[in-house]
Amino acid sequence: MSKRRFLLLSGAVVLSAILSLTGCSGKPDKYSSGKFTSAARYKSTMRCYTVLGKTYQPTYVKVGQTMTGISSWYGPNFHGKQTSNGERYNMHARTAAHKTWPMDTMVKVTNLQNGRSTIVRINDRGPFVKGRIIDCSYAAGKELGLDRMGIAKVKIEVVGFAGKVHSPQAIAKAKASKTEARMKLTNFGIQVGAFVRYEGALVTKRKYETLGGNKFRVVIKKADGVDGTGRTLYRVFMMGFASEEAARDYRDNCLGLTGAAIIRN
C-alpha cells in the first residue's frame, strides 16, 4: 500500500475496535448500510476518547452548523469491517467518519473545488490525520470526485439526524434562530479546582479554557465558608455538558479528576 493511501485510509477506522459494541435498532434508509445506532451504543459513542495521544470529546450539534476543511475517503480495504458505532462498513452506502459529531447525524458535504455535493450519515470516527475533518465512504467520495482527487477542501453542514434530512426551509429557520436550540441542555459542569487565592483560580481557569477549546465555558465562582472554616474559596468549573453522565465521562476519561464534584445550574 502506498504511503498516500495509508494516510487516506488510516483515519476513519482506528477506533472501530475501541468504540464498537453489539446490537442495533431502527430502520435502514438510502443513506445507511444497515440499522441505525441503538440508544446504548449512541451513548457510548458520545464519550471522550483518545487516539494517537490526542483526546476528543464528541459534542452535540444543531441543524445548519458548518465546518470547513479537508475530506478524504476510504473504500475496498475496509469494506465489511466494523465501524465505530458497530455497523459493518459498506463502501457503496453514503456514510462518513467524523471525529466529534454524533452518530447518525446527516451531513451535506460540498466539494469546494468542483462544486459537487452529497449527503452522508455519520457512522464512524476519524479521520485522524491533521487538517482533515471528514472521511467519506467510497460511494460518497465518488459523487464528490474524491476517487480521482484523493482529498479535497470541503464544507460540511448538519442537515438532519437519524436518517431524516430536514427541509431547506427548516434548515434556513434553524440558521436564523437566535436561540440556537441544541439537541440537549448543556448546563452541567465539573469542578476542576478550588483556591483560597483568586490568582490560583485564574491560572486554572486559563488552563482548562485551553484544554476545552471553545466547547466549554470555564467560570470562577466565589463561595464563602463552604469548607467549614469560614474562608472564602474561588471554585473553578468547566461548564457546558449535556448531562451528568457526559460530565462524569469527561471528568473520568479526559481530565483524570475522578471524584471531582459535578454541578447543575
For the question of whether the overall pTM of this predicted structure is more than 0.75, the answer is no
**pLDDT given at position 184:** 45
Average the pLDDT over 208-219 and give the result: 84
Q: Cell for 114?
A: 468542483
| 64: CB partners within 8 A, 6+ apart | 157, 158, 171, 172, 174, 175
- Whether 3-176 and 188-264 share one fold: the answer is no
Domain boundaries, the chain: 3-176, 188-264
Strand-pair partners of 184: none
- Looking at domain 188-264, what is its CATH homologous superfamily? Sporulation related repeat (3.30.70.1070)
Q: What is the pLDDT of residues 105-154, one digit of tens each?
A: 999 999 999 999 999 999 999 999 989 999 999 999 999 999 999 999 99
Residue 108: which H helix or E strand, with range? strand 105-111
Q: Provide the pLDDT for residue 143.
A: 97
**Domain 3-176 CATH class label:** mainly beta
Instruction: Tell me which of 166 and 21 has the higher pLDDT.
Output: 166
Short-list 109, 165, 116, 166, CA closest to 137 = 109
203 vs 265, higher pLDDT: 203
State pLDDT tens for residues 76-105. Answer: 889 999 999 889 999 999 999 999 999 999
Q: Cell 444543531 identifies what position? A: 62
Tally of CB atoms within 10 A around 38: 17
